[in-house]
Every structure is written in C-alpha cells, then in structure tokens.
Amino acid sequence: GVVAATVAESIPMGLIDNGAETVTIEGNTPPPGQVPPVINNNAIGTDYFRTLAIPLVEGRSFTDADNTQGPSVAIVSRAMAEKYWPHQDPLGRHFTMASDPGHPMQVVGVAGDARYGTLNGETQAYFYTPYLQHFSQNTLLALEVRTQGNPGAMAPAIEEAIHGIAAGLPLFEVTTLHQALYSPNGLLLYEVVAALAGVMGTLGLVLAVVGVYGVLSYVVSQKTGEIGVRMALGAERGAVQGMILREAGRLAAVGIVLGLGGAVAAAALMRSLLFGVKAWDVSTLASAAAVLGGFALLASYLPARRASRVNPVDALRAE
C-alpha cells in the first residue's frame, strides 16, 4: 500500500519546526546597513517531492550520491528563485549557510512553492538540503509515507515495520497530513474563529428578527385606527396583511442593502485571511441576503396577521 516514502527534519504544519538559516547568496549582496536574509529550510531524503506531491519545476531531485562525499547541493523553492535570481536561471547558482560557511551549496533544482509553518500571508522563500549531507542538525526525524488507500489505516503496519528494525525507537505524532492541516499551525484557529463568528451571526440574526417583530408590532399598534377605517370601508383581510408585509419588506430591503455594503467593506479588509475568497462573493452575499430577508418576513407575519384580524368597530372606538 506504500507508494513513496522519505525522511525529513520537519513536516508541514507539524510540531517539529522548520530550520531557519542566515544565508549569503552569490551575486546578491545586501545594501549597507541590512543583514543577510534568514530563510527557512528543510533537510530531506530522496523521493521527498514525490512523496509530498510537490512538483519539481526545474532541475533534478536529490539522490543517494548527494552525501558527505559529494559536492554540497540544494533545491530552492520557486519563490526563492524568483526573489534572488529574477529573470535568471537559478540552476548552478551558489549560496552559503552561516552554520556551514565552508561548503557553498550549488542549486540543482527548483521546487514548487509549499507552505510549512502557516497558511496565510505571502509564500516565503524556502530551500531544501540533502539529509545525507546535513543529518546532524536535528536529533528528531520525520518519516513521511504516501499510501494508496486510507493513510490512517496504514499507521499500525508502518509502526510495526519500524519497530521490526529498531524495537526501542520511540515514535510520536503519528498522524496524517489531513489531520496535520487542522493543527494549531494550520486550520484549527480558523475553525475556532469561524465557529465564534457563526455563533455571533446567529445571535445577530435572532436580534434582527426580534427587532423586526418589535418594530412592526409597534407600527401595527399605531395604525390600529387606520386599519379599522380601511376594514370598515370594505378592505379585505388579505389587503391589510399585504400592506403590513410590504412595509416590513421595505424595512428589510433597506437593512439588507446597508448590511451588504458593510459586509463587502469588512471582507475587503480581511481578504488576507480568507484564502483567496473574493470580497464580492456573489453566492455568499446572496445566500445571506436571502436568509435575512426570509427571517424578516417570518418575523413580520404575526403582526400582519394580527392587523388583519382587527375588529373595525373596536378599532374605531379605541381611536
């Protein structure tokens, strides 16, 4: 059931943090007063990009020959290539890590951009080094496995295989990539915020319904005499009920228009947190308007029904 497997020092959205290195890039000297860039990186094994389905845009992947006996090499992300070698071929370029200044690394490949520590904001520059050349940076190691079927169901078999090789090797954080996406580094906080927003939205909807009901009830009580006169002159109950519902519709329409304007403005301010959702998302706004309009008419039904049942004689006597 295993399609591909690899090792790495960190995993996307995992508890094992990505490494960060101060680098000196050939041909890219910082202006006076500025420090060299600090770029996140990961020491990885062979077959890493196939295992995580990260496309290799240019060049080659790492092989077993990329070890301590071979030349120092690295693979950079597309964002790093575009930032430090714009309109140039990054293959064959060199840069040096501050932790290993004696071994400049040659760029042998460009990988597609991937997110590791956070899901929002701009995609940052990133680079990869062969684990066989940088195996001493971290005592923790992540085994990453791509499976054909349900990856969670494969976990016991994978753990058993590892303990068959090294019985005393401790294993922890055995999880699927989907589960890792819902970690505190991933979507968990957004889910909590979305749930709170849903609760607040529901409370707002309840308050809106109660407000519409209260306003229309007051309007009906103020128009009791007018309604009595209309009905005394022959107005049908349906006409009276329609009059109240039309007034409710006008109030709801004004509120919905103002609310849509505020929603678009708020979404534009929070666009960086919405993962590509447009501020003017027609389906979302139309659904919200339909729900609010429906509940507003529902809240106005009882006052309209009560108005249509007014006794003309009692209404005129009260007036």
pLDDT digits (tens, 9 = 90+) for 112-167: 998 877 777 778 899 999 988 886 655 678 899 999 988 888 899 999 999 999 99
Residue 238 CA to residue 309 CA, distance in Å, equals: 10
What DSSP letter does each residue of 268-291 carry, written as one string? HHTGGGTTT--SS-HHHHHHHHHH
pLDDT band at 102 (very low <50, low <70, confident <90, very high): confident
pLDDT digits (tens, 9 = 90+) for 260-301: 888 888 877 776 665 555 666 788 788 888 888 888 888 778
What DSSP letter does each residue of 2-39 carry, written as one string? EEEEEEES--TT-SSPPEEEEEEETTBPPPTT-PPPEE
Chain centroid, CA 30 distance in Å: 34
Mean pLDDT, the chain, rounded, equals: 84
97-107 burial by CB neighbour count: b if 16+ within 10 A, else e? Answer: beeeeeebbeb
pLDDT digits (tens, 9 = 90+) for 305-315: 777 777 777 66
Q: Which amino acid is at 57?
A: V
Taking the alpha carbons at both ends of the chain, their separation in whole angstroms is 84
Q: Using an 8 Å Cβ cutoff, are 62 and 133 in contact? A: no
Whole-structure pTM value: 0.66
